Amino acid sequence: MGQIVGVHSYFNLCAFFNSLIYLVPKSCAELRNFGITTSGLYDIDPDGNGMGDRPITVHCDLDSSEVVTEVLHDAEDMIDVKPCEGENCFLHKINYGNAALRQITTLISLSEECYQSIEVHNN
């Protein structure tokens, strides 16, 4: 009889651990609300934990009084643009790491403000 109780307890324990969900915050601001104050790379899930798209990796600036979320992308290097004429004569695709467009759109809706900086140098 003791072995059956032990097996039963083992299965209850397994069921408990299998039911645990790793909670991913919706935003860097939510991380701050949880008491995290160290800036760095974090996974966030703007559309909700376990909902829709997978979590995205962002850089959270938690050092200042204002929380800043930076979505990682592949356009840090200078791009040499040749002169061209006409509307949309130059296009450059920017990849935002593992972030789906829906996640970015949801993150924007959760944010107080959103901007993207583009620096132009004329030679």
* Domain positions in the chain: 22-110
Radius of gyration of the chain (CA): 22
Dihedral sign, CA of 110, 63, 53, 20? Answer: negative
Q: Who's near 121: CB < 8 A, 6+ residues apart?
A: 78
Q: To which H or E segment does residue 17 belong?
A: helix 2-19
Question: What digits encode the pLDDT tens for the residues 112-123?
Answer: 888 888 777 776
Question: What digits encode the pLDDT tens for the residues 5-53?
Answer: 444 444 455 555 555 556 789 999 999 998 999 999 999 999 888 788 8
Looking at per-residue pLDDT, the higher value among 58 and 20 belongs to 58
